[in-house]
Amino acid sequence: MSRLFVARNPRVAARSLGGEVMIMSGRDSTLFTLNRTATILWQAADGCTPLDKIVQERICAEFDVEPAVALQDAETLARELAGHEILQISEEPIPQRNAPAGESR
């Protein structure tokens, strides 16, 4: 199975408010809030860390879940977020030019 890479879409706006990340879609200004899993995915989506590694190191470390199940769920979530143009997904690493900050703010 090929590896999946995820990156934050540079066209979205994002801010953490009281621990909850809100994202405004660059496509149509729709506002989203991310749940805990989606927030972890958003913060770790640097374009060069493969999804399976994010799941193993970040999601499985926080939730009591089977790695295979977690990876499947994370892939579904990543594709959903990509559908809203919040994340970019690719089977190759995604170069990040002027990447939005994911961690600190």
Partner 1 sequence: MSGLLEEMTAKAQRLNVPLNVQLDLTYRCNERCVHCYLDHDDHGEMTTAEIKRLLDEMADAGVFILTLSGGEIFVRKDFFEILEHARRLTFCVRLKTNAILIREREAARIRDLGVESVQISIYSHRPEVHDAITLVPGSLKRSLDAIRFLKSQGLRVIIANVLMVQNMQDYAGVRALATELGVDCTLDPTITPMMDGNRSTLSLGVDHNSLRQVFRDPSLVGDVDEFCAIPAKADDGTLESLPCSAGHTACYVSPYGDVYPCVQFPLPTGNVRRQRFVDIWRHSEKMNEVRSIRMSDLTTCTQCTHFSSCTRCPGLAFMEGNMRGPSSQDCEKSFARTGVLSANMLSKRRAGANLVQIQALPGLAATA
Please tell me whether residue 36 binds partner 1 under the rule CB under 8 A.
no
How many of the chain's residues bind partner 1 (CB under 8 A)? 23
Contacts of 45 (CB under 8 A, 6+ apart): 6, 7, 8, 54, 87, 102
Please tell me whether residue 61 binds partner 1 under the rule CB under 8 A.
no
Of 47 and 70, which CB lies nearer to partner 1 in the complex structure? 47
Task: Check: CB of residue 16 under 8 Å from CB of residue 70.
Answer: no
Please tell me whether residue 48 binds partner 1 under the rule CB under 8 A.
no
76 membership: H or E segment, kind and range: helix 67-83
Please tell me whether residue 98 binds partner 1 under the rule CB under 8 A.
yes
CA angle 42, 21, 43 (to 5 degrees): 25
Of 33 and 90, which CB lies nearer to partner 1 in the complex structure? 33
Q: Give the separation between CA 98 and CA 105, rounded to whole angstroms.
A: 16
* From 14, 34, 40, 78, residue interacting with partner 1 (rule: CB under 8 A): 14
Residues at the contact surface with partner 1, assessed by CB under 8 A: 10-18, 20, 22, 24, 26, 29, 31-33, 98-101, 104-105
